[in-house]
Structure 1
Amino acid sequence: MAPVVWSHVGRILWLACLLPLAPVRVAAGMYELNLTTDGPATTGAEVTISASLVAKDNGSLALPTDAHLYRFHWIHTPLVLTGKMESDLSSTIRVVGNVPGEFPVSVWVTAADCWMCHPVARNFVVLPITEFLVGNIVVAQNTSLPWPSSYLTKTVLKVSFLLHDPSNFFKTASFLYSWDFGDGTQMVTEDSVVYYNYSIIGTFTVKLKVVAEWEQAKPDATNGIVQKTGDFSASLKLQETLRGIQVLGPTIIQTFQKMTVTLNFLGSPPLTMCWRLKPECLPLEEGECHPVSVASTAYNLTHTFRDPGDYCFSIRAENVISKTHQYHRIQVWPSSIQPAVFAFPCATLITVMLAFIMYMTLRNATQQKDMVENPEPPSGVRCCCQMCCGPFLLETPSEYLEIVRENNGLLPPLYKSVKTYTV
């Protein structure tokens, strides 16, 4: 028995050493091998691996019509071969792994009458074998969202566990499922499908522990309970539709006063928001305002009005699910500081003007009084006038006094008339 085993081992090692020695030109020739497998698998379960010989130039190269011209050579140790089947330029093997690990499986093709010749094509695949259950969690919902793993809150989720068992290894097993939805809710079921409804937004991790039990015959012809377990998880992002925008802020304000408005978004972030000030409450069109990214459910916007009047904040927001509009009217009154600011310079200007007018009036009155009280000009002035004016000067003081009386008609007369009464 021992010589036979060593003979097989020697042959496998010889083939393994022969494979790397093939020239690169032959390995990268006209044909190639496509490998498919239904792994990974749990220990004890059967795995199927298939190899197909195809042309490298997308099928324009004609393959030989006689499939018996080529032979497929497999290396799968330490996996146990349980079956092999060959047909038209393809070969399929079934293997079982009794210990966990990652095992390479190699295959190459040679001429049927010369299996020691250079291979026509070759390839390999790494097969994972685990001692745990193999499967995954699948989440489905009627409403599909554009983001991966995104779902709606307050909408029923269908959460399923799909066992990977292509060889029907667990056909006699019974399963127990322990669910943890990440929001404090846990449950245990015997069914692989559950329905759950998340009431709040956020990112949650669904954790599942699966236990499989079945009876298996022992070497002593008695039946024993065999158990395998597996831990699985899936990340879910729960979001809400944007139901509206709550605006918190004043409705009456004065000019040149900084105003702050708080926007509370009734939906799940992240979202995109934009706003614009209009004279009327009308929806915003695309491209009418600059979008702003908001990473929370609240946002503060500030603005300072310079002109009084009636205004309307037109606000648009949207997330990956929906969009909504909201409006906020506001009345802007003139600031109470403005009249005082403008009244001070006006009052100052008016006061200066009045003072100037009074000064000029008093000055004119003073000059006229001096002219009446001192009709005789100073000697220097009189001399100057006599020299400059020449013949224009009057001959006698009486004529001068007469002219003064005519020019100052409002002054009292120099003598008083005597009133006479007749009895």
Structure 2
Amino acid sequence: MARALWPRLGRILWLACLLPLAPARVAAGLYELQLTTDGPATTGSEVTIMASLVADDNGSLALPASTHLYHFHWIHTPLLLTGKADEAFSSTIRVVGSVPGDFPVSVWVTTADCGMCQPVARSLLVLPITEFLVGNLVVTQNTSLPWPSSYLTKTILKVSFLLHDPSNFFKNASFLYSWDFGDGTQMVTRDGTVYYNYSIIGSFTVKVKVVAGWEQVMPDAGKGILQKTGDFSASLKLQETLRGIQVLGPTLIQTFQKMVVTLNFMGSPPLNVCWRLKPECLPLEEGECHPVSVDSTAYNLTHIFRDPGDYCFSVQAENAISRAHQYHKVQVWPSSIQPAVFAFPCATLITMMLAFIMYMTLRNATHQKDMVEVADFDFSPMSDKNPEPPTGVRCCCQMCCGPFLLETPSEYLEVVRENHRLLPPLYKSVKTYTV
């Protein structure tokens, strides 16, 4: 039995001695494999795929110094391999697809002396192959705009088709371009760049159909014409710049009155409008206004001032390509009509005052009537039952109170005549002697 243990122990010691010679197995999980490609591509053209071994923690680990330490294993079927190049920590292959589709390409890395060991890193990508042309439609304008796909009307647009052909597969091909600008204008050119000017605002889609043709030697020693086509489009939003804001509204108003201010925007909607009421006309700062979305070229603002003073409407608007701001000064005066909250107390006070005035008027009228009756009784001719009052009292009452107690001028004149009969003359005749 002891003899059977010696061979097992020997194999364990042999593996322990080989462990320091396999640094890749210790480094498994510390590296990653990055894949890059110049695809997508059309059928028949060549595609380049590159795999690079890098440290997994942003490069803080140092790769081994040996340049023949790792081996790259590729699986690219059914793509046809046309070339391969290996370097110390990268590998590049070139493949061609004869049929369209999405093809997976995988690669993994092992140590150079142990192809069956656990991979140090692995990666996978899907390569799209199409039977049509590959490219992009690019629209540019001289005016630099911060909003994507937004352009100015009445300004030249440059529309270009950029063919994606890194392997120069179409180097001998001739191209024909059929353009449709979405506003009824169409044209055919042999140049992949055109210039166009939209005169109206709105959303448009510019389209181009590209046809590529070239001669190719056929298997029967003849020549044939091959073609590939492609349809491409780009969305455009043509707008006018916001040239200004017209503010229509009163400049003088009273407190507690509803004020309506009309904003007319000289530009293309939709607009993002922001306004703020300030004591002075100062530019708006970010986050200190009331944002409103406006889908037309006019908008009404309503406000009720509760305190008198000088105010300024600060208005700012922007569309997809420009921005404008405007100010509107308003002078607010105290209102001559108090608000409804003060109407009831004021009405109550006025009613009480009117009631008091009516009461005092009726009371004075009754008192005057009694005094007139007494005066008529006192100033009647003398009788035995009503002795005549003293002359001074009667005269004083008639002179002081008579004009106010009588109701008509005729009664007043009658009393005056009676007073002249009863009162003694206020003057005496003076005799003049001539010597």
TM tier relative to shorter chain: 0.7 to 0.9
Report sequence identity in percent: 68
Cα distance change on mapping 1:287 and 1:165 into 2, 3 Å:
closer
Q: 1:26, 1:136 → 2: CA distance?
A: 46
Which residue type is aligned with residue 394 of structure 2?
Answer: R
Cα distance change on mapping 1:124 and 1:307 into 2, 3 Å:
closer
CA deviation profile, 1:118-159 (whole Å, cap 9, x unmatched)? 222221211100000011111222222222222222222221
Counterpart of 1:271? 271
Which residue type is aligned with residue 368 of structure 2?
Answer: A
Q: 1:404, 1:59 → 2: CA distance?
A: 130
Counterpart of 2:397? 408
401-410 or 65-74, which deviates more: 401-410
Contact 2:284-2:316 at 8 Å conserved across structures: no
Q: 2:256, 2:312 → 1: CA distance?
A: 17
Which residue type is aligned with residue 293 of structure 2?
Answer: V
236-245 or 58-67, which deviates more: 58-67
Per the TM alignment, residue 56 of structure 1 is displaced from its structure 2 partner at its CA by 2.0
Per the TM alignment, residue 350 of structure 1 is displaced from its structure 2 partner at its CA by 10
CA deviation profile, 1:29-54 (whole Å, cap 9, x unmatched)? 22222111111100000011111222
Q: How does 1:102-181 map to 2 (within 5 A)?
A: 102-181=102-181
Q: 1:317, 1:336 → 2: CA distance?
A: 36
Q: How does 1:394-405 map to 2 (within 5 A)?
A: 401=390, 404-405=393-394
The DSSP-based 3-state class of the residue aligned with 1:408 is helix
CA deviation profile, 1:192-220 (whole Å, cap 9, x unmatched)? 11112222333322212111111111111
Contact 1:40-1:134 at 8 Å conserved across structures: yes
Counterpart of 1:43? 43
The DSSP-based 3-state class of the residue aligned with 2:78 is coil
Per the TM alignment, residue 107 of structure 1 is displaced from its structure 2 partner at its CA by 1.2
Q: Residue 295 in 1 paired to residue 268 in 2?
A: no
Q: 1:310, 1:63 → 2: CA distance?
A: 74
49-58 or 157-166, which deviates more: 49-58
Contact 1:156-1:195 at 8 Å conserved across structures: yes
Counterpart of 1:6? none
- Which residue among 359, 365, 369 is the counterpart of 1:366? 369
> How many correspondences in the alignment?
371
Per the TM alignment, residue 335 of structure 1 is displaced from its structure 2 partner at its CA by 10
Cα distance change on mapping 1:402 and 1:227 into 2, 3 Å:
same
Q: 1:180, 1:195 → 2: CA distance?
A: 12
The DSSP-based 3-state class of the residue aligned with 1:366 is helix
Which residue type is aligned with residue 408 of structure 1?
Answer: C
The DSSP-based 3-state class of the residue aligned with 2:68 is helix
Q: 1:27, 1:101 → 2: CA distance?
A: 36
Counterpart of 2:91? 91
Q: 1:406, 1:227 → 2: CA distance?
A: 139
Q: 1:54, 1:289 → 2: CA distance?
A: 50
Q: Structure 1: which 5+ runs fail to align?
A: 1-24, 376-395
Contact 2:179-2:187 at 8 Å conserved across structures: yes
Per the TM alignment, residue 293 of structure 1 is displaced from its structure 2 partner at its CA by 2.3
Counterpart of 2:66? 66
How much is the aligned-residue C-alpha RMSD, in angstroms? 4.3
Which residue type is aligned with residue 36 of structure 1?
Answer: T
Contact 2:276-2:284 at 8 Å conserved across structures: no
Q: 2:423, 2:96 → 1: CA distance?
A: 156
Which residue type is aligned with residue 373 of structure 2?
Answer: D
CA deviation profile, 1:324-363 (whole Å, cap 9, x unmatched)? 344567899999999xx9xx99999999888667645543
Cα distance change on mapping 1:43 and 1:260 into 2, 3 Å:
same
Cα distance change on mapping 1:413 and 1:170 into 2, 3 Å:
closer
Counterpart of 1:76? 76
Q: 1:414, 1:36 → 2: CA distance?
A: 136
Counterpart of 2:197? 197
CA deviation profile, 1:61-100 (whole Å, cap 9, x unmatched)? 3323332232221111100111111122221111100000
Structure 1 length normalisation: TM-score?
0.72
Q: 1:309, 1:64 → 2: CA distance?
A: 79
Q: Structure 2: which 5+ runs fail to align?
A: 1-24, 379-384, 400-414, 430-435
